[in-house]
Amino acid sequence: MSDDIHFNYIYALVDTWFYTEDEAWRWYTSEVIPAYGMTPIQIVEQIGRDELEKWVDVKSLGNFE
């Protein structure tokens, strides 16, 4: 696992979305979430982990951005 405690927490929520932890890390560090115009790691750093967790919860329920 990564040394990033926020990634480890979020990864536990989204691990079923990815085949590997490396894919999840790439998503976390480089995939822009259109609703925020930021990557997940930027959301965590600038707004807070709780905000990303809310987005993950909504997305997991089948809602769109």
Residues 19 and 13: their CA atoms lie apart, in Å, by 14
Is pTM, for the whole model, over 0.85?
yes
Give the tens place of pLDDT for each residue, 6-63.
999 999 999 999 999 999 999 999 999 999 999 999 999 999 999 999 999 998 888 6
CB 11 within 8 A of CB 1: yes
Instruction: Say how far residue 13 (Cα) sits from the centre of its chain.
Output: 8
Residue 16's closest CA among 5, 6, 27, 31? 27
Residue 35's closest CA among 63, 15, 11? 63
Would you state the pLDDT for residue 30?
Answer: 97
Domain boundaries, the chain: 5-60
Tell me: pLDDT of 65 over 60: no
Radius of gyration of the chain (CA): 11
Element (H, E) at 47: none
